[in-house]
Structure 1
Amino acid sequence: HGLTEDDVYKGFYFRKGTIIVANIWNMLHDPEVFPDPMVFNPERYDGDDSEMRKVVNLTFGFGRRSFPGLHLIGGTTFAIVATMLARCDIVPAKD
């Protein structure tokens, strides 16, 4: 998929048909959004921060081209875990 018309972004000229690939790694490591982006800190996604909720699923894509099964996966995973917890006896390991 490419640009449908010529465009200029931050002084850079892009011809019609140019393919643009989003750098998701860079988006997820922006220090203005994620303090200490190179530190493993899953707690940064906890809480009521609406901005963080927007980026939790960024790795599945965004816009028209996002992964269509994202919502299906969430519901399916919940159903599988709920069924396992309801049907299985979870006990400590025996020697």
Structure 2
Amino acid sequence: MHSQVTVQKESITKMTQAAYILLNVQSGMLEKVQEGLNDIAEVTEVYAVYGIYDLIVKIEFDTMDELKNQVLNNNIIVEGVKNSMTMICVN
């Protein structure tokens, strides 16, 4: 299966809300997807995991509009991602 790979970035202090995005990745594309996610400023953490999903991505944002723009405009869905589920943190 996948080996565990962790990529972390410093949090951007001005951002006040967070969401986790669960990603299914095409076979053989895990590293490429992680590299693509590293180029997105709002992405603060990326974890490779075992189970139904392949990656858990944490993003931070100021407003719901910013989150919608990132996810709906497919900025988070980089090449190699088959599908995703977004969970918005409430606390």
Give the TM-score category using the shorter length.
Answer: under 0.3
Structure-1-length-normalised TM-score: 0.19
Asked which structure has the greater CA Rg, the reply is: 1
Say which structure, 1 or 2, has more relative contact order (CA 8 Å, 6+ apart): 2
More helix by share: 1
More strand by share: 2
Structure-2-length-normalised TM-score: 0.20
